[in-house]
Amino acid sequence: MGGWAIALHGGAGDIPRSMPPERLKPREAALHYCLQIGVDALKAGQPPLDVVELVVRELENNPHFNAGKGSVLTSNGTVEMEACIMDGNTKRCGAVSGLTTVKNAISLARLVMEKTPHIYLAFDGAEAFAREQDVETIDSSHFITPENIERLKQAKVANRVQIDFTQPTQKVVEKASVLSLDSQDGTVGCVAVDGNGNLAAATSTGGLVNKMVGRIGDTPIIGAGTYANGYCAVSATGKGESIIRATVARDVAALMEYKGLSLKEAAAYVVEECAPKHTTGLIAVSAKGEVTMPFNTVGMFCACATEDGHSEVKIWPDDPLC
Amino acid sequence: MGGWAIAVHGGAGVDPNLPEERQELAKQLLTRCLDLGISALRASVPAIDVVELVVRELESDPLFNSGRGSALTEKGTVEMEASIMDGCGRRCGAVSGITTVKNPISLARLVMDKSPHSYLAFSGAEQFAKQQGVEIVDNDYFITEDNIGTLKLAKEASKILFEYRIPSTVGLDSCTLEAETPPLTMNGLPISVYAPETVGCVVVDSQGRCAAATSTGGLMNKMVGRIGDSPIIGAGTYACDACGVSCTGEGEAIIRGTLARDVAALMEYKGLNLQAAVDYVIENRLDQGKAGMIAVSSNGEVACGFNTVGMFRGFATENGFMEVGIWE
């Protein structure tokens, strides 16, 4: 065992199999592309912490996922982005919430980790720090896409916080109201390990459609949406409130450490037993170079690769897309 | 086994030179809070309500670092945070960046009970507070003379104060000083540079239901917008079927160590009992960090652990045991 491994995701949720090709193809292509970037970086010997940041930046810049550009909107029609990064070796971490102008939230999270005595900065304080650090900021309108404006409209009509993969048609909104008890959350994330067992995790998101202004989800919560230590690195996605309650990311590692479960067993247990159905997906890699991507939602945009040549891009459970 | 149990804390990391009068005041406050909790438990009030009412009392008293008496940001303002968790169903609520809400723990409770979310912060949280009609005051209400003084010292030393680490002009990095160091003076008067911590309460009621609540003003001289461990479920606060935990100390170390969740995880996944789990976490999950915690189990046990010099704490169990303490 051993060798590098990488996994990335673009969100778990009620991804309809009926999603039309023009919406599906760009997302699939992005997963392939980002996987390649991550694999190339690992092969070139870049540390996992740099690799996960780089892959998540790419996902943030892609308007088809709910992070950075393409973030879903708050009830006020604005974006409030959050992100988190963690280094397995040192357990150092950085998190940000409530960003409105920072182009790459994950990079600001990294700066919080490296350039402040703190772990977590939010809202005005985080934006002020971004300016001090001279990171790339851009007018908030940059992050807003027509698709998300439409989603927000639909959510308000249905008067509920919404699944962000549902398509903007009246029919599906009704279906959503009947099917879903609560909303789901898309997010992006990446976990990686190098041949020496160094692990890192990174997650970034715009949150829930029509969320209350100021709402914080699981993504920036160490142990919920993001976690890495000497055993594994985990990034979760789905319904933030459920992921927080089930301390999803921490529990995968805790099961490995305290109960001796393998990565696959631990991740499956958390997704199947600890979190309610239709709420959670995660990606995880272990120090030994294993990878797993379980989810209890309809689907999860995800991809992974390991040094032994295995490579996979997936959306639904029994679905080899690669 | 069984029966109700309650533990409260007013922070880990105590100035070893803390004047007698302040120690006495602290013990009285802890005792008063325990009594409040005990009366409620005897009246069969559920654990989730007991932890809220006790933490409200701690927030309202300026002695500890929460609500009134909160530590100050680098700008001299107050930004409070709190979280509450109900072991039944593991429902939770948290708030951060609170500047005008008199009792942040109650706002956290409302987030849990009256919003579709688990965590609200800054202006969004304040908006929610207004909608809910909770008691609102000016930010000044929370600021005390003591803390204005401590902030000044911290700025002079350009440090963020952890526990009672006394700032030195010799450019020491922040490490704890020995007890022999003479107290600092300001305007010729000796003052305690006790940098206050956090407050919390954990309870198991007579039905075996656990709950936990934590509230704080955060670190003295913190950056505006800094969030610590207190509102982070799994770090500063956690409750499940098996136990309730509230932590205090260096927020960054507590977050990294996911302290509160780890106590429960050790019980659940490794079969440790409450005190063993608390000891394990303090011993193994803190690295260089300084922290403390209180915990109760569904069996009616209480436990605490800390690697700091002192922790303000109090415990009581249904069989009549009651204790308030500061030092080891």
The model's pLDDT over B82-140, given as tens digits with 9 standing for 90+, comes to 999 999 999 999 999 999 999 999 999 999 999 999 999 999 999 999 999 999 999 99
Question: What pLDDT, on a 0 to 100 scale, did the predictor assign at position B164?
Answer: 45
More confident of the two residues B189 and A37: A37
Give yes or no for A77 touching B (CB within 8 A): no
**Greater confidence, B263 or B154?**
B263
B96 contacts A216? CB cut-off 8 A: yes
Q: Quickly state the pLDDT bin for B1 (edges 50, 70, 90).
A: low
The mean pLDDT of B177-188, rounded to a whole number, is: 38
- The one catalytic residue in B73, B99, B198, B237 is B198
Question: CA end-to-end span of chain A, whole Å?
Answer: 24
Residue B167 pLDDT exceeds 70: no
CB contact A211 to B (< 8 Å):
yes
What contacts A248, CB < 8 A, 6 or more positions away?
A: A218, A224, A225, A234, A236, A270, A271, A274, A275, A280, A282
The per-residue pLDDT for A182 is: 29
Nearest CA in chain A to B228: A120
CA distance A247 to A243: 6
Where is average pLDDT lowest: A84-88, A137-141, B177-181? B177-181
Q: Tell me how far apart the alpha carbons of residues A105 and A98 are, in angstroms, rounded to a whole number.
A: 10
Looking at the complex, does the CB of residue A228 fall below 8 Å from at least one CB of chain B? no
Task: Name the residue among B151, B153, B148 with its Cα closest to residue B166.
Answer: B153
**CA of B312 vs chain A CAs: smallest distance (Å):** 24
More confident residue, A294 or B164: A294
Cα–Cα distance for residue pair A231/B172, rounded to 1 Å: 35
B24 has pLDDT over 80: yes
Name the DSSP class of A143. G
- Three-state DSSP at B317 gives strand
- CB nearest A122 (choices: B91, B227, B262): B227
Put simply, the answer to whether A245 touches B256 (Cβ < 8 Å) is: no
Interface pTM, i.e. ipTM: 0.90
Percent of chain B with pLDDT over 90: 78
Cα torsion through B22, B23, B24, B25, rounded to 10:
50
Q: Which two tokens stand for residue A267?
A: 């991740």
pLDDT above 50 for B16: yes
d(CA A284, CA A200): 10
pLDDT at B153: 85
Can A226 be counted among the known catalytic residues? Answer: no
> Which residue of chain A comes nearest to B79, CA vs CA?
A125
Q: State whether B121 and A246 contact (CB < 8 Å).
A: no
Q: Where in chain B does DSSP place strands (E)?
A: 5-12, 80-86, 91-98, 119-121, 185-186, 189-190, 199-204, 210-216, 226-227, 237-239, 243-249, 291-297, 302-306, 311-317, 322-325
0.95 surpassed by pTM = no
Kind plus residue range of the DSSP H or E element containing A9:
strand A5-13
Per-residue pLDDT at A179: 29
Q: How far is A22 from chain B (nearest CA, A)?
A: 33
Which pLDDT value is given to residue B113? 97
Q: How confident is the model at residue B159 (pLDDT cuts 50, 70, 90)?
A: low
Q: Which of A187, A205, A219, A297 is catalytic?
A: A187
Q: Do residue B225 and residue A245 have CB atoms under 8 angstroms apart?
A: no
pLDDT of residue B161: 54
- pLDDT given for residue A158 in this prediction: 84
